[in-house]
Structure formats: C-alpha cells, structure tokens
Amino acid sequence: MRIKMDTTSVRFMVTRPGEAKVDRETGQERVDRSTGALLWQVQVMALDESGGEILTVTIDSEPKIAVGEFVRLDGLVAIPWSQGDRSGVAFRASGIAPVKPSAAAA
C-alpha cells in the first residue's frame, strides 16, 4: 500500500548528498521494477511547526541538489513494510527540485 502524503505545510532540507541505491546482498545498483530506471536515495530533514525528522527518500533520477538546500518532493508517498520481525516505512517521491528562496524570506 502506498499512502500519499500532504506536504503543503512541510519544508524539506537536504542533509546528505544523493547516492545510488544499492542492493545490500548483491552490491548492484537497484532499478525500478516497472521502468528500469536506476534508483537514488536522498536524505532530507522534514520541518514543520512541531519540529524536524530525518527521512531517506527514494527517487528514480539522479538528484541535482546540494546539502543544505531546501527542496520540493513531488508525489511523496509512504510505503509501510514488514520483513520477518522487522518493519518500517519507506518513502518514495516521483521527483525532487530545489526551492527558490522567496523575496519575502530575503
């Protein structure tokens, strides 16, 4: 199940450069099963009025962003998973782009 996330009141800041997503067992770069595109992961801090949380987000194109840059995550979804006695939530976005600072923020 994929849960679409409403990010209208959330700001995202890049905290680690994008890197190719690698299969832990084979050491090979992972690819999207439906498109064949190489998968990348980016670590961001999600910030809202209650504080911040670090997320690792998977995307299917090489991210052109820098650490410390505020970005927009398009089509962000949460994907709950369970494997044996482990479980968690994976995050996937259809795209990532820098957010230009507004004139009011300057």
Tens of pLDDT, residue by residue, the chain (106 residues): 899 999 999 999 999 999 999 988 899 999 988 888 999 999 999 999 999 999 999 999 999 999 999 999 999 999 999 999 999 999 999 999 999 876 555 4
Distance, CA of 42 to CA of 59 (rounded, Å): 8
Please tell me the CATH code under which domain 3-98 is placed: 2.40.50
Whole-prediction pTM value? 0.86
